A and B are shown apart, each in its own frame.
Chain A
Amino acid sequence: MSDIVSEPVRDAGLRQLHIGAGDMLAFTFSNIAIKRGDSVNFVRNDDVVLHIKIRSEESELVINSFIGGVWGKEEKIPVATDDGNSNVSIEVFIHGNGIRISAAAEPVLRIEDRFAILGDISLFIQPSISMRHAGRLDLEAEDPASPRQAPGVDGPETASEIGYIDSFSYIPSFGGIILFGWVRAPWDDVHRSVVTAVFEDGEVAGIPLTAWHKRSDLGDIGTGYVMFVPGAMPGADGAPVLHRLRLAPAQGGPLHIVPSPGVGPSTELQAVQMLRDTLQRAFSGDTAELQALLKRPIYLGVDTLTPLGLPIHVEVDEVIEVRPGAAFLFGWMLDTQDLVTSVHLCCCASSSRPLADARLALERNDIVEAYAKQYGITDSRAGFIAFADTGSAKRGPFFLEVRLATGKIVFKPLPPPSRAGVAAIRRVLGATLIPADEVQRVFDTFGPPILDLNRRRLARPMEVSVATFGTPPASPRCSLVIPLYGRLDFLRYQLALFSAGGLEQDEILYVLDEPARKGLLLDMAHSAHASFQVPFRIILPAENRGFGPASNLGMQHAQGRYVCFLNSDVFPERTDFFDTLVRALEADPGLGVVGGLLLFADSSVQHASMDYEALPQFGDWLFPTHPGKGRLLPAGTAGLIPSPAITGACMLLARDLAMELGGFDPDYVIGDFEDADLCDRIVRRGLRCAVDSRARAYHLERQSQGDSANAWRHNVTLLNAWTFNRRLGAARDAGRVLAREPGR
């Protein structure tokens, strides 16, 4: 209730008022007031929030504010002053977030987002000006943005349609939709079930907050409501088209609230203002909860930090969405005065924990150079990469909420998410080299979302085509699955050697893991087939997915009793290489997987077995090692060499087993550790791994992987090591331990 007196104010001085939305005040400027330039001033703290005067010489009404010692921009409307011989009356109508002012028959000036005099305020007025409370207007009836008139006195047309929607708006800072309208009768708690807003492009469903208010235009045919339905707007850009609200009462069929004819979305600001006004008049419902929504600072898509002019810089250069509501942020921050309490990522109505909880400092010498003089900073680690999860399951624009030590909350818009898939993973893992003592913390923080990024890219549907050269055997003994990446010419070398024989019963499946080079590879394949007449197939996925997924794709196309995962840079020494491996497997049912003895070009050992070693510099994580690597094979080595695991560069196992295990775990990004992981899963089944020293091949290791001396390659290895060790940890916790040969 307003306590504004209805009598003219005749005494000068301050008066304490409480002004409500919908209040209308009338002021009459006497000719003396006009001549002297007397004014009306609404004062809060030291600021004049609203200043009104009449300039007779210009015949105009001037409205302004004096905030922080500075006059704002003048707003003017013409008035007839009769050269100062007559009084002038004006009316001021108070909105939630502004005013509407008119003078006699002159046009109405409506001002938003300024002159907010709602609530407690002081009024300073000279005796030459009189004021009266001209009453309270029904906002719905008066405001152009208010809900429309009830469409008909008869009310909703069908029994299930219990009311109308007059306007609605999605408000990101609320994380949901605000709707206004009316129903024949308020519902009670039995209706506090899920409400679904059915849009053209999808639905928003949630437990609503509802408040009820009387509407003069309805009389006793219905009751006004304001409703908040949490959730993100479906669909993309453009004005949403709302079909109905569907209520699901505990008993009976669904009830509907339908849009009034011609209803469309209102602006966020209009909706917030209407909500504020409506709640003033609400008589029941979830008014407290809805008021709480209003108390949230509202993000309106603009930067409200920078205009403060504070020595604070919070800048985000890139956002990588991990999933709706969660993202990696790359940026930099300067706050030399400790003015910032915390920074949070926000999405829809949700906000994350402070970014500092999951943040890694990055070198940004450019920032130091730019601001060293201004702030005297010397620490170059002004940059950061942070992961933040708002918890929102809905996709919405990301923005930052910056909480200042003063208690003020400001916002920063963020650029839209850009990279995805491997590019996103490369960006994150390539950001910096991680100090050894931080790898555990960093990967415990960043590892799960990176895996999410990886899973998300792998979950995308992908087209796969197959090119067949020659006639592969109909029922192959073994399927050689060979991913190709980088050195596509290895295909020609390998097929040249395979043409010597030994593969008559086997099928050769290449998997191109570099789709951009499909044309080149097909040309090479045609030439190689014409040259060597060796039948083979090439699986052509539409995306690069890494060694494990590419191998798995090949496995899915394989038809052999056995599958041999083989690198393209492995070149068997003899034609009986695969015969030897198959024989070894068939001779020993306890043998789960067998690999070849792999040699460097100088005939020293590249891989004769695989063991694990805990590296203290990496949190005692276990890393695979290759005993005897670089040395000549010890004299007397013969037959099978038992091993805890074997390399994925060459491993042969029953296809059924491989399929049952799902092949390589695709959580290992790009290619590392997946072989050790697969072997570990085989061992957990009670089977063994071994290298057959009778099957020898040259392995020109790392030829296809390019330069590894960079942060990306280093960190992807660490990521995979982290994944592997986490799995081992889980296995240990479950009572299983990594299989080791006796005596090792």
Chain B
Amino acid sequence: MRKSFASRAGRKPGPAAMLSPVPSPPAPAGAEAGLAGAAFDPGVQTEAGAGDIAAPAPIGPPGPLRVVVVSHMHPRVSRGGAEIAAYQMYQTLRAMPDVRAWFVAASGGKVSAPLGAAVFQPFGPDEFVLGDAAYDHWSHSANNGNLAKEFRLLLTELRPDIIHFHHFANIGVEALLHIRQVLPNARIIVTLHEFLAICNHFGQMVKRPSLELCEESSARSCAKCFPERSENDFFLRKLYLRRFLDLADHLIAPSQFLADRYVDWGFDAARLSVIENGQPPLLGAPAPMPDPATLTIGFFGQLSTLKGVGVLLDAAAELRRRPPKRRPVRLEIHGDASNQPPVLREEIERRLEASRSVVAFRGTYDNRKVHALMQGCHAVLVPSIWWENSPLVIQEAFAARRPVITSDIGGMAEKVRHGVDGFHFQARSGLALADLLRDLAERPERLDALQQTLSVPPTLEQTVRATREVYEIGRPAAWAPQHGQPLGGLSADRQQEVKGVAATPVPARQRPAGV
């Protein structure tokens, strides 16, 4: 089944208005790339027909829909995928005539608050930064009581109908309670970007210290990763997080894989939708493939262990040792290892030097030029050794009309259909990657053929419209706690609850083979 960019987790794809399959090209055009390019594009064509995503009716009393988009960081100081997605959504919303939008970001230690200020505005009149939260990364809890008070005041001031969280890190899950208490009628939407609630290992779901892939969290297995914590500690952590995350009216996952993991963790599938992050459309016509004399594969992003730098270098060594016969392979690295530990940096530098004949190190890049850089390659490589959710780089590659060569696990395998959007290789195997690249060098037509089937990423407009549908999904008539409701989501009928998921129709999970 063709995956949609927007679907309700645990449900079969619904009405076309909400669950439009994403077609092949033509790619949308007309808006600028980057943060400033998130303009509304009425010309989006979909398989179901242009304009079939109707603007939802406004919520509440007449007047613009008042939306606060909350992000764990401001993209002015951090260029991660989640904050970029959040900000693009904010800009797209505010461009809509029936929406009044604000952006609230946690400082995350990267923006200094003016002396004595808890909520401040260094980036513009509708953008707010929350100061030091005294954040506890264990329970994702904000312990600064003064900030809580100021956040409540801000909510009172803005009176949003919708508060849409992208991530809850740096803000604290208690923020959901603040909203419930101050604005009982407001709707809370949370877009999940990682497995942060499920996994204390930076939400990566890889075991510590081995970095083995983790299939399922549990208090017992998590305590093995963190022997300094007890199983009961992990039980409490989950109880605490669920207490607040359950206050969300609806949750959004950018990938089915992420959604499935949260359903496994205990979230009601009916409260989860899958909506892919949107992409600003490319300007102009797609660039042609580069010189075929050399198979050029691009890597974009941080050179880190989890991003698969070791796999890349293993493959490079193998290709150097046994190069393809028909034409050479060149791996171009855009990014750096500046945030990595010195030992890893030295190791990377040493191995890069040894593989100079195969690997070219291009250094950091301006994200606004990412599409052009990608179009200088025949394909984009995403060799991460963790599950990933919906890596921005995959959507960027699709936007640049370049296929993706990626690990056959998790969000990567979901987003890149083998033989359709790119190719999979056995995750964590440099040898398998080298074999694949060697074969692609020998048979260039395999990559060329993908131009006909390659996904088109949803536009920001499409993503926002799908998200606005989620804003409309019903929630309990009144929030006021009903006596007898579970306190922390782990009700006495926990097992039944989990079984209850099974009782609700859940689509066959399209996990790729090999996961």
Contacts and interface: CB of A to CB of B under 8 A. Distances in A.
Interface of A: 492-493, 496-502, 524, 526-527, 529-533, 569, 571-576, 579, 599, 601-603, 696, 698, 700, 703
A576 B486 CA distance: 9
Interface string B410-422: 0000000000000
Contact of B487 (A571, A579, A603): A571
B481 A571 contact: no
Nearest to B484: A576
Given A497-B239, A696-B492, A601 B232 contact: yes
A573 B492 contact: yes
Contact of B486 (A496, A529, A573): A573
B485 A496 contact: no
B515 interface: no
Contacts of A575: 481-485, 487
Contacts of B236: 493, 571, 700
Contact of B142 (A493, A531, A696): A531
B483 A499 contact: no
A531 B174 contact: yes
Contacts of B239: 493, 497, 571, 698
Given A493-B239, A500-B243, A573-B491, A530 B148 contact: yes
B495 interface: yes
Interface string B127-158: 00000001000000111111011000000000
Given A499-B177, A533-B181, A574 B492 contact: yes
B484 A603 contact: no
Contacts of B240: 493, 496-497
Contacts of A569: 232
Given A573-B491, A603-B492, A700-B235, A496 B145 contact: no
Interface of B: 134, 141-146, 148-149, 172, 174, 177-178, 181, 219, 230-232, 235-236, 239-240, 243-244, 480-488, 490-492, 494-495
13 contacts: A497-B243, A498-B487, A500-B243, A500-B488, A502-B481, A502-B483, A531-B172, A572-B487, A574-B485, A575-B481, A579-B483, A602-B219, A703-B232
Contacts, number: 98
Given A497-B243, A530-B145, A531-B145, A574 B486 contact: yes
Contacts of A497: 239-240, 243, 487-488
Contacts of A524: 143
A601 B231 contact: yes
A575 B246 CA distance: 14
Contacts of B181: 533
A498 B481 CA distance: 11
A576 B231 contact: no
Contacts of B480: 501
Main secondary structure of the interface of A (DSSP, over half): mixed
A573 B487 contact: yes
B331 to A, nearest CB: 47
Give the interface centre of A532, A569, A579 by most chain B CB atoms within 10 Å. Answer: A532
A502 B144 CA distance: 26
A574 B486 CA distance: 4
B56 to A, nearest CB: 30
A163 B252 CA distance: 101
A319 B239 CA distance: 49
Nearest to A702: B232
Give the interface centre of B142, B146, B148 by most chain A CB atoms within 10 Å. Answer: B148
Nearest to B238: A601
Contact of A574 (B219, B232, B243, B487): B487
Contacts of B144: 527, 530
A600 B149 CA distance: 35
Contacts of A573: 486-488, 490-492
Contact of A500 (B141, B174, B481): B481
Contact of A527 (B134, B219, B485, B487): B134
A696 B488 CA distance: 13
Contacts of A603: 492, 494-495
Given A493-B239, A497-B243, A603-B494, 8 more contacts: A493-B236, A501-B481, A526-B145, A574-B486, A575-B483, A599-B492, A601-B219, A698-B235
A496 B487 CA distance: 9
A531 B148 contact: yes
A256 B172 CA distance: 80
A205 to B, nearest CB: 60
A601 B236 CA distance: 9
B296 to A, nearest CB: 52
B243 A531 contact: no
A603 B480 CA distance: 28
Contacts of A599: 492
A209 to B, nearest CB: 68
A694 to B, nearest CB: 10
Contact of B491 (A498, A533, A574, A602): A574
A708 to B, nearest CB: 14
Contacts of A572: 487
B252 to A, nearest CB: 24
Contact of B484 (A496, A527, A574, A602): A574
B494 A576 contact: no
Nearest to A533: B181
A523 to B, nearest CB: 8
B147 to A, nearest CB: 8
B244 A496 contact: yes
Contacts of A529: 145
A502 to B, nearest CB: 6
Contacts of A492: 141
A576 B487 contact: no
Contacts of B146: 530
B149 A530 contact: yes
A531 B481 contact: no
Contacts of B488: 497, 500, 571, 573
